[in-house]
Structure 1
Amino acid sequence: MVPEWQEAYMNYNFLKTLLKEILIFRQQSRSPENQVNPRSRPLKATTLKRRGSLFRAFSGLTGYGNRSPKQDKEDEVILVSAMHTADEERGEDGRSYQTIFLRASEEGAEYELVFFRRLDDEFNKVVNFYRAKVEEVVKDAEELNIQMDALIALRIKVNDPAAVSPLINQRNTGYPLEVIQEEQQEKRSNDVKEYQMASLDVLNHIKINTTAETPLSAIKNLFIGSNSDLRFNKNELREAKEKLKQAFIEFHEKLRFLKNYVFLNQLAFSKIMKKYDKITSRNASDAYLKTVEESYLGQSDEVTKLIERVESAFVKHFCNGNRHQGMSTLKPNTKKKRHRDTFFVGKLQACCKIASIIDLNGTTLTIVDLNSTTLTDVSSVAGCFFGCSLALVVAITVNVHARDLLNSRGRTQYMDTIFPLYIVFGFLVLHMLMYAGNVYYWTRYRVNYSFIFGFKPGTELGYIEILLLSSGLSVLTLAAVLSNLEMELDQNTERYTTLTELLPLGLVIVVLLIAVCPFNIFYRANRFYLLVCLWHCICAPFYAITLPDFFLADQFTSQVQLLRNLQFYVCYYGWGDFKNRNAETCKGSVYNVIYIVIAVIPYWIRVLQCMKRFLGGHDSTQALNALKYFSTIVALVARTIQTQRGGPVLQIIAGSTSGVATIFNTYWDIVMDWGLLCRNSDNPWLRDKLILPNRSIYFIAMVLNVILRLAWMQTVMNFHQAPFLHRNALIAIIACLEIIRRGLWNFFRLENEHLNNVGKFRAVKSVPLPFSYENDDKNL
């Protein structure tokens, strides 16, 4: 089932409930004395009945043969007729189907009347939706025809037609080429091919659709202006070909969706009618299924023909006749799903293998050989990493407790310098865990996150793969933390203090190298996708803003503390403070200014993205959204200055600006991003359509969102001065709460986006076409 078309499918479950009501009525209407216990029946009667059936006339494998007309007439239960609507002159397009129940005088027939009435409604809904979609794809095919005419003409113009003119039959030039509907015939005469030549006149009526692909091209368009006139160069040909290729891929996917839509609905009608026959002991399925087969749903073959022609045209014009390459592009392999339980099996197995990793009587760490552990898939590897992470956490806890490091003199120095370096990876791991949870529940409740984010089919990461990455990163981080502690306290490694301080930096370098690694390892497609979205965020005003871009920018607004810690990395290692484990350089006025700027950057990116969308005319509410982020910037700057300088005046300013920003952001989260708090909806104070079965979860999520957004109060109320907890530890806890809030926001934000796509039946990406026509004149 296409998730975005869910409302357009036959409602099989509801029809089953109606059949269940019929079954219950029939069971209740039978008198006890007329009910016969099957166990009390004589065996002889049953045997004779079965033997008698072996000598009856064969009814045929299709279920239609060897029945007399008189018997068919007597067994008629329903009569299905096509009723003409107001659009009767449209022929088939104006029909709706209505079933007349011929046994209405029987007791309990009202239940069956309701069933057939709803069955007709579902059938008409399916037929009308399919008819509308077929008309839509036919129009799209006509548009692709015209676009392909222009592409072929441009190809001829760019590739110097004078060089191939001797091979062209001049009698056939000047006729347009219908690409999708073409059945080109090639003849040989004196070893020269004669074929139909595309007309070049189409180039006089079209313009190239240019888009700002790079910041440089966007700046040129801003100052020089965009020029969409054709220059007939190879760059234009290459870009037009790529755009049209992508349009063909999306069009083919839509056709496959429609073909599958027909199959699933025909199967659903067949199964529901057989259930009706079984419950009522009637024979009505043949008549109704015959109507289904003779309807537009069963007789229309436009989609099948279009699929064949699209595949033929795509292989010929975009794959150089290589059908295997073309079909692998049009029909990418679906991602193989792995059994979710193997993750927990792998986790349990790893935990058992590492159960003896810690010697509680001492402080040494023993590494267990895991070569005997068979990890057959990704989930088992993720489970192994998870088990290793748990063991390392226990090892670090025992190490700290055994050596009483919490009460040592270097505790404050460690928390001021080393802790901010390692907590960066803690923020990353927590964010990835929240995203893994999002993916799990999106998949469970059929939220098409892959389509919404625009992942290449088959490359999207499942929750197990994300858990693998997060658990692997946690193992590296915890191993580095434990190694750092061991090297500091071991007398044999005291002289290598500089090397000890470089462990966090080395870990950052390893993570960055993996992120930009050009080789096909560690999910290269996803890493490249993330880097492209990150680049779009950095260059926000120069690119068209899509959902993945502003979704990623929103994630960075919840990782402000991570960005500040990266600033601490630059200061700590760049100015050489790591040699003495002293961060005095990172406390100056310049550092404090940059400390504010770093925190503002994610919100400023969102302001630019909102203004870009507002000026582009896509959404007028984006001006208010930009104002929301600007209010957050003001509140953030006020809180940071109040923390650095103190004072009652700054405290009042920080509290008031933060309060306004919190109210603004909370309203936008719940009402605009989540689509909740609709007073007159079918679900009071929520929305008409919900994915989660338990409505109370939405109210809990709204309350949690408000509570977690009030975390800024710890700064204004000076909670960071609590003596029982170090300031950096409290800041890390508050940052983790914000990451958790963002994880909750992610699920409901994408749920609302999915429901919007469902409401508009958008199941395929809209791809911009390469050519436009002067005065919209396509009758060339």
Structure 2
Amino acid sequence: MTAEEGGQCEQQFFKSLDNELNKVDKFYKSKVKEVVEEAQNLSKQMDAFIAFRIKVEKAPTRFGFDPPPSSSNMVPMSVFKGDSLSNDSVEENDKNISQEIQEEKPKNVTSNIFASINILNHVKINEAIQTHFPTTKQTELNFSKENLKKIEKQLKQAFIEFYQKLRLLKHYSFMNILAFSKIMKKYDKIASRRAARNYMRIVDDSYIGSSDEVTKLMERVEATFIKHFSNSNHSKGMNKLRPKTKRERHRISFCSGLLVGCTAALVLSLIMITHARNILNKPGRVQYVENMFPLYSLFAFIVLHMLMYAANIFFWRRYRVNYTFIFGFNRGTELNYREVLLLSFGLATLALASIISNLDMEMDPKTGDYKALTELLPLILVALVIAILICPFNILYRSSRIFFLTTLFHCICAPFYKVIFPDFFLADQLTSQVQALRSLQFYICYYGWGDYKLRQNTCKANDVFNTFTFIVAVIPYLSRLLQCLRRLYEEKDPMQGYNGLKYFLTIVAVCTRTAYGLNPVTGWRILAWTCSAMAAIYGTYWDLVVDWGLLQKQSKNRWLRDKLLLPYKGVYFGAMVLNIVLRFAWLQTVLNFRFSLHRETLTAIVASLEIIRRGIWNFFRLENEHLNNVGKYRAFKSIPLPFNYDEDEDQDD
């Protein structure tokens, strides 16, 4: 390479480097401007919160006024204003303020409190604090301790999210400066130059290298949070602002492996017992299968879904899908795939042990007088699982259980709660567990009506049971439809209407298919086949195009999308084909293909295929959501603030 060509290459190199520096600097500056504005808004929110707390926690004094219980509550929140303050200086300043307040004359105390409470004349509380119904209105302040707790909780969450945003910005600045430093060191080494020091001066003089706004804001947020939300307990406040990364524990892996071995051993034992005692050829086997299969298949469906979810978590983490942010999990409390495997194989071990115990008691002549009691084993297992799920003690991942139960409650109460991602994601999972819900329905019938005592199955001959067969099958889809209508009302997004239409078609298909199963005549068969085909085609299109974001003809990855996380494009095409095949698998319940299998077994296989399809759908659905978040620079939850100032309303008008 000639000297002239080398000079041109160097010129192009530094030009590209300058462009990258300008791009990074511009982006960082815009984000710092956003957090400064957000800090000012939080400052105003804290002023209103402190005044609100004074008003609620009032107590008469000899001066005839209502001072707050602590000096910190009387001082307007000013840590976002003025110069940077360290934690020590803030604490020292608080002590000085407290001493001044104690030494002040009653007249000054009264005037300070009036000045603080006067803020409340210019604010209104968001009605969302008080109700779950969709509204954007503001209401007059209701000075109750219940509202104070809600406001404090909401502001605490807002500060934690804001602090995480500041930490990420600081990390962004550090990583980019480090990148420029490494690039220049590499350049000096290859070109035998000493340009790194001079160029790093330019980087240090840029906004991203010289601005300390983020550091100052972090110090102020720490001081404010510790003072007002942690009772001046520094370690407690910092633990909430900076939650520790969850440690991977070897005992989880050991216990999971142990339970995998137990599950495998119990499966082998079940097969050997079945063949050794020739259970499949004994009289009464058909009745026994029809009774026991729906009872125990419930656990098989749940375990399979948990295994798919564990696989989802493994691949989300491997390909850096930010699923903890998408689901809104609390940092450090989310379950990893090892813990999900532990729970799933633990449940599988209990279920298999119950099945073997049931078979053993069934075949043992010594327990012949207690056959009704042997029928209670599945019910005892269900009761145990429910008891663990609602256990209030801090054992077996209480935070995850509370999160699951809360989300499930939101699904049941749709559309009375604002719909967020975990709500409709769980509702989608329930649409793949219709057969499990029907198993629960069978539990109620079999044990509630006393069939287990006579070891009979009269459920399907009962009109009430058949009516609830329709209702139970429709519940997940109806919940999802109501969620779509709620989002359509709030967001005015027509796509939610089209999504709701998909679930409406599915409800019609499920009802006609159920009617055909109860009354297999030609008319119901044609109607069920037509509705099922329409719902399957619509659902498949929505899966591939809307939920996964694929089949984009103009994409640089033809028929896929521009950004892909998986390195192999064939995986996406294979997933699309598999999704279509599994989508149409349950059409065989209408087409009546002949298989040498019991009807209950065939139904369980089709239900299992749907759960597998849902597990595949989960990965690509969250991948698409993650890429959308990355494209929109969305990495933090949007926390609605409790107060609205009068000037904010005027600006909106």
**TM-score, normalising length: structure 2:** 0.92
CA distance in 2, matches of 1:142, 1:129: 20
* 1:647 CA drift (Å): 1.5
- SS of 2:532 mapped into structure 1: helix
Match of 1:745 in 2: 617
Match of 1:576 in 2: 450
Match of 2:562 in 1: 688
Which of 269, 278, 294 does residue 420 from structure 1 map onto? 294
Match of 1:281 in 2: 192
- Within a 5 Å distance, the mapping from 1:304-383 to structure 2 comes to 304-338=215-249, 376-383=250-257
Q: For each residue in 1:736-766, what CA deviation from the matched residue of structure 2 results, as whole angstroms up to 9, or x when unmatched?
A: 0000000011011111111111011111111
CA distance in 2, matches of 1:149, 1:588: 64
Preserved contact between residue 502 and residue 539 of structure 2 (Cα < 8 Å): yes
In the alignment, residue 204 of structure 1 is paired with which amino acid? N
- Within a 5 Å distance, the mapping from 1:425-464 to structure 2 comes to 425-464=299-338
Q: For each residue in 1:341-365, what CA deviation from the matched residue of structure 2 results, as whole angstroms up to 9, or x when unmatched?
A: xxxxxxxxxxxxxxxxxxxxxxxxx
Do structure 1's residue 121 and structure 2's residue 32 form an aligned pair? no
Match of 1:356 in 2: none
- SS of 2:128 mapped into structure 1: coil
Do structure 1's residue 253 and structure 2's residue 197 form an aligned pair? no
Preserved contact between residue 372 and residue 455 of structure 2 (Cα < 8 Å): no
Preserved contact between residue 129 and residue 642 of structure 2 (Cα < 8 Å): no
- SS of 1:207 mapped into structure 2: strand
In the alignment, residue 304 of structure 1 is paired with which amino acid? T
In the alignment, residue 115 of structure 1 is paired with which amino acid? F
Which of 725, 731, 735 does residue 607 from structure 2 map onto? 735
- Within a 5 Å distance, the mapping from 1:457-472 to structure 2 comes to 457-472=331-346
Instruction: Say if 1:427 and 1:322 are closer, same or farther in 2 by CA, change over 3 A.
Output: same
CA distance in 2, matches of 1:190, 1:211: 36
CA distance in 2, matches of 1:136, 1:218: 29
In the alignment, residue 57 of structure 2 is paired with which amino acid? N
- Within a 5 Å distance, the mapping from 1:714-725 to structure 2 comes to 714-719=588-593, 722=595, 724-725=596-597
CA distance in 1, matches of 2:610, 2:62: 65
Taking every aligned residue pair, what percent have the same amino acid on both sides?
A: 53
CA distance in 2, matches of 1:111, 1:494: 91
Which of 119, 127, 141 does residue 210 from structure 1 map onto? 127
- SS of 1:772 mapped into structure 2: strand
CA distance in 1, matches of 2:466, 2:48: 58
Do structure 1's residue 141 and structure 2's residue 39 form an aligned pair? yes
Match of 1:262 in 2: 173
Instruction: Say if 1:188 and 1:602 are closer, same or farther in 2 by CA, change over 3 A.
Output: closer
CA distance in 1, matches of 2:40, 2:167: 18
In the alignment, residue 42 of structure 2 is paired with which amino acid? L
CA distance in 2, matches of 1:232, 1:335: 39
- SS of 1:320 mapped into structure 2: coil
In the alignment, residue 752 of structure 1 is paired with which amino acid? N
Which of 535, 541, 544 does residue 661 from structure 1 map onto? 535
CA distance in 2, matches of 1:659, 1:423: 27
* 1:297 CA drift (Å): 1.0
Q: State which drifts further: 187-196 or 131-140.
A: 187-196
CA distance in 1, matches of 2:471, 2:398: 32
CA distance in 2, matches of 1:276, 1:558: 56
* 1:203 CA drift (Å): 1.4
In the alignment, residue 597 of structure 1 is paired with which amino acid? I
Which of 636, 645, 650 does residue 773 from structure 1 map onto? 645
Preserved contact between residue 248 and residue 310 of structure 1 (Cα < 8 Å): yes
Do structure 1's residue 272 and structure 2's residue 183 form an aligned pair? yes
Q: State which drifts further: 306-315 or 407-416.
A: 407-416
Match of 1:649 in 2: 523
Instruction: Report the structure, 1 or 2, having the larger helix content.
Output: 2
Match of 1:764 in 2: 636
> Which structure has the larger Rg over C-alpha atoms?
1
CA distance in 2, matches of 1:747, 1:582: 42
Match of 1:40 in 2: none
* 1:244 CA drift (Å): 1.1
- SS of 1:200 mapped into structure 2: helix
* 1:494 CA drift (Å): 2.1
CA distance in 1, matches of 2:399, 2:551: 38
**TM-score, normalising length: structure 1:** 0.77
Instruction: Say if 1:117 and 1:144 are closer, same or farther in 2 by CA, change over 3 A.
Output: same
Q: For each residue in 1:368-404, what CA deviation from the matched residue of structure 2 results, as whole angstroms up to 9, or x when unmatched?
A: xxxxxxxx51011001100111111111111112222
* 1:109 CA drift (Å): 4.7
Instruction: Say if 1:308 and 1:638 are closer, same or farther in 2 by CA, change over 3 A.
Output: same
Instruction: Say if 1:114 and 1:494 are closer, same or farther in 2 by CA, change over 3 A.
Output: farther
CA distance in 2, matches of 1:122, 1:337: 38
CA distance in 2, matches of 1:618, 1:246: 27
In the alignment, residue 745 of structure 1 is paired with which amino acid? W
Match of 1:22 in 2: none
* 1:231 CA drift (Å): 2.7
- SS of 1:186 mapped into structure 2: helix
- SS of 2:124 mapped into structure 1: strand
CA distance in 1, matches of 2:295, 2:190: 69
Preserved contact between residue 263 and residue 349 of structure 2 (Cα < 8 Å): yes
- SS of 1:208 mapped into structure 2: strand
Q: Specify every segment of 5 or more residues in structure 2 that has no aligned partner in the other structure, as ranges.
A: 68-73, 83-89
Preserved contact between residue 209 and residue 772 of structure 1 (Cα < 8 Å): yes
Preserved contact between residue 138 and residue 644 of structure 2 (Cα < 8 Å): no
Q: For each residue in 1:566-625, what CA deviation from the matched residue of structure 2 results, as whole angstroms up to 9, or x when unmatched?
A: 100111111111122210244322211111110000000001100001011253311111
CA distance in 2, matches of 1:772, 1:189: 32
Match of 1:487 in 2: 361
CA distance in 2, matches of 1:164, 1:123: 63
- SS of 2:494 mapped into structure 1: coil
CA distance in 1, matches of 2:62, 2:398: 42
Instruction: Say if 1:260 and 1:189 are closer, same or farther in 2 by CA, change over 3 A.
Output: closer
> How many equivalent residue pairs?
629
Instruction: Say if 1:122 and 1:589 are closer, same or farther in 2 by CA, change over 3 A.
Output: same
* 1:226 CA drift (Å): 6.7
CA distance in 2, matches of 1:504, 1:192: 71
